[in-house]
Amino acid sequence: LFQVSGAVLVSGLIQLVLGVCGVCGWAARHCGPMVLAPSLSIIGLSAYKEAAFFCSTNWGVALLLMLLAVTFSQHLRSCRLPFCAWPHAWEGSTESSVPTLRTFSVLLPFAGVCIVCAILSYFHIPWESLDVAMAQLSWANSTFNAPWIRIPYAGEWRWPLLTPRALAVGIAMAVGCSMNSVGCYVLCGRLLRVPWLPPHACNRGLCMEGLGSLLAGLLGTPGGTASSIANTCATGLTQAGSRLSVQVSALVCMVLGMSPRLAGLLTHIPLAVHGGVLCVTYAVAVGTGISYFQYTDIDSGRNIFIVGFAMFMALLVPRWFGTALTPLATGWVPLDLLFLSLLMVPVFLTGFLSFFLENTVSG
């Protein structure tokens, strides 16, 4: 665990350096449609295994959430509820400023399905099929005896351990998270119809992610901070691209981080709910990636090969290493970890291959 915290610390430091040097903004500016189209599509497609695993605990619950989310965000996206209207002081009218159901197209289905699951559990109606390991994990995550307030501090669980292995994994984490973050920034701008994504905004975002990972590593956590594809796609579904909403969510996360009892509520969210949310949100990433093909000459043999080769190899290589009888062996374990950590990430493979071929193959 201490080596993992060390890797998170290294990852945060590298991300901070990349943000300060302006690498993130440069990458966002130089990634054309031939890079963004396959990369965003693979980002969405790469989560299908996890989504299917979560949904398999109860497909009825997952389908109910997806049905409600699709209905609110697509079929009823222009619906304005009269009791949610508020007066405009400068006009004296009572027209709602945003379509209500679309704005809450993720929150309302999530809350409604969680309430349904809670009612079923209260009446002891079996609805969730968990294997023995997952059932034991849910009991292990029980926080009924956890304190209400606990302020974490650096070095509470010993200081992070910096080893060659932690350094190698940290470098891979930084590269993967940075590429994922660039995709999130571009995706968010595309979904909110921003005509031009400022490079300095991308650099600031990566700097803050690096600072968050640095703090997480010092606190001894096994994970850092990174942009969330699900949150970005939820922003696209709700069209709630407000800085205030991000600030409120950050404040809520800080409160949960200082209250183990409240944070324990997150462990009681059914896996089927997670699966339904993943299915709805990551589908937006796939569709957005496909939409970038309109800016390319998709009839060109060169472009067809670049897109097909990058996406196919991004799905093939992780599967290959996952089922290989003999793992990658260079003779030095940290180097093996670095290569495996990078080659097992589909977004890295897609971004690297498409960017390399786009800038080296003439046409």
Among 32, 22, 357, 61, CA closest to 199: 22
Residue 213 within a domain: yes
DSSP state of 222: S
Whole-Å CA distances, 171 to 13, 14, 124, 167, 345: 10, 7, 47, 6, 13
| Pick from 227, 234, 192: nearest CA to 107 | 234
On whether residue 156 sits in a domain, the answer given is yes
* Residue 268 confidence (pLDDT): 85
136 lies in some domain:
no
- With a CB cutoff of 8 Å and minimum separation 6, the contacts of 159 are 2, 218
Domain membership of residue 93 (yes or no) is no
For residue 33, what are the domain limits?
2-52+150-232+282-360
Q: Given this model, what pLDDT does residue 54 score?
A: 92
Is 140 a domain residue? no
What's the pLDDT score for residue 257? Answer: 85
The one-digit pLDDT tens for each residue of the chain (363 residues) are 788 889 999 999 999 999 999 988 888 888 889 999 999 999 989 889 999 999 999 999 999 999 999 999 998 888 777 655 554 444 444 444 567 888 889 999 999 999 999 999 888 888 877 665 555 555 445 556 778 888 887 777 778 888 999 999 999 999 999 999 988 989 988 998 887 778 888 899 999 999 999 998 888 888 888 888 999 999 988 888 778 888 888 899 889 888 888 888 888 899 999 999 999 999 999 999 999 999 888 889 999 999 999 999 999 999 888 888 777 888 888 898 999 999 999 999 999 999 999 989 887
pLDDT for the residue 89: 42
Three-class SS state of 197: coil
Could you tell me if residue 159 is inside a domain?
yes
Q: What's the pLDDT at 135?
A: 54
pLDDT tens across 246-297, in order? 888 889 988 988 888 888 888 889 999 999 999 999 999 999 999 999 988 8
Task: Render pLDDT for 89-142 as a digit per residue (tens, 0 to 9).
Answer: 444 444 445 678 888 899 999 999 999 999 998 888 888 776 655 555 554 455
Total domain count for the chain?
1
What Cα–Cα distance (Å) separates residue 5 from each residue in 15, 19, 31, 256? 15, 21, 32, 20
Residue 164: both structure tokens together: 């060659």
* Euclidean distance between CA atoms 318 and 341, whole angstroms: 10
pLDDT for res 219: 87
What is residue 17's predicted lDDT score, i.e. its pLDDT? 93
Give the model's pLDDT for residue 38.
Answer: 93
64 is a domain residue: no
In a domain, 112, yes or no: no
